[in-house]
Amino acid sequence: MTSPTMRDPQGAGFVVELEKFSGPLDLLLHLIREDEVDITDLPIAKIAVQFLAVINDLGLNQAADYLEMAARLLRIKAQMLLPRRLGDDEWEDPRAELVRRLLEYQQIRELVEWLGHAADVRAERFGRGYEAPPPDAPPAPLQIDLNDLLGAAERVIALIPEPMLHRVVPRPLDVEGATARINQLLAERETFSWSEAVGPNATLVDVLSTFIALLELAKRSSLTLSQSEPFGPMVITRAPPREAA
């Protein structure tokens, strides 16, 4: 956004303070004003050369917007060189779009001056400096009503891309919850079955959470897992208490 002050390496006295320019359009306007050329009949070749000379002094990394404009200028310059048929009403001046943007931008710059002046004038007046502390110090009430929230929800729905409508986002596993549940069972009973561990109406997520919790607890030697036969019901047994260290 901001750029350092650049000095022409040839020392030709050409100093461009890039902070002065808020973008490539601003720089273009500056060149146009300096050359006192007609903005609606832009000498594109000349301006392009000048523009390139200036941005040549810029680091590329900070000049993407300027480079884009340089490319545009060169393209317009090339288009201007194309032959056009006499009396061709359809011919559109390749500079038209750029000129439109420059005029528009010039208008913005004028508004900037107006706004800047208005802000300066306003800054000469002070409002009340002292703000009384709120009586019981409740912060300003936050206003949300249900309609606002539902309106927002509807906007969100409108935004959801089609394929997302049925996308199932997995609920995160709750290993901590499962571990707590198993520890409670261990405290109550020496052995219990897998179906007791996982609980009634278990979802896939519950099953996975419980399974991971069991493995973790087995690793920590809090319990042992056993099956009497392959695919048989799993039995969870409390591990014998360890000797105190």
Partner 1 sequence: MHPLAKLLEAALFAASRPLTLEELSSLAPGENIQPALDEVRALYQGDHGVELVEIAEGWQFLTRREYAETIERAQFALRPRRLSPAALETLAIIAYRQPVGRLEVDEIRGVDSGAVMDKLVERGLIEVVTRGEGLGRPLLYGTTPSFLEILGLKDLEDLPRLEELSVALRRPMPADEPE
Q: Which is nearer to partner 1, 107 or 226 (by Cβ)?
A: 107
**Least CB distance from residue 180 to partner 1, whole Å?**
8
Angle at 173 between CA 172 and CA 175, to 5 degrees: 145
Please list every residue from 126 through 155 that binds partner 1, using CB under 8 A: 126-132, 134-135, 139-146, 148-155
Contacts 24+ apart (CB under 8 A), 69-75: 69/24, 69/25, 69/27, 69/28, 70/24, 72/98, 73/44, 73/47, 73/48, 73/98, 74/48
Please list every residue from 34 through 63 that binds partner 1, using CB under 8 A: none
The binder of partner 1 chosen from 60, 71, 78, 118 (CB under 8 A): 118
**Least CB distance from residue 209 to partner 1, whole Å?**
9
Q: For residues 165 and 163, what is the distance between their CA atoms, to the nearest angstrom?
A: 5
Identify which of 184, 186, 180, 176 has the alpha carbon closest to the alpha carbon of residue 235.
186
Please list every residue from 58 through 117 that binds partner 1, using CB under 8 A: 65, 69, 100-101, 103-112, 114-116
Q: Which is nearer to partner 1, 171 or 221 (by Cβ)?
A: 171
| Choices 51-59, 78-86, 177-185, 214-222 (CB under 8 A): range interacting with partner 1 | 177-185
**Least CB distance from residue 214 to partner 1, whole Å?**
15
Pair of tokens at residue 53: 């000379």
Contacts of 2 (CB under 8 A, 6+ apart): 18, 19
Give the total residue count for the chain.
245
Q: Which is nearer to partner 1, 130 or 231 (by Cβ)?
A: 130
Contacts of 44 (CB under 8 A, 6+ apart): 73, 76, 77, 80, 95
Please list every residue from 205 through 244 that binds partner 1, using CB under 8 A: 205-206
For partner 1, how many residues bind (rule: CB under 8 A)?
81
**Least CB distance from residue 242 to partner 1, whole Å?**
28
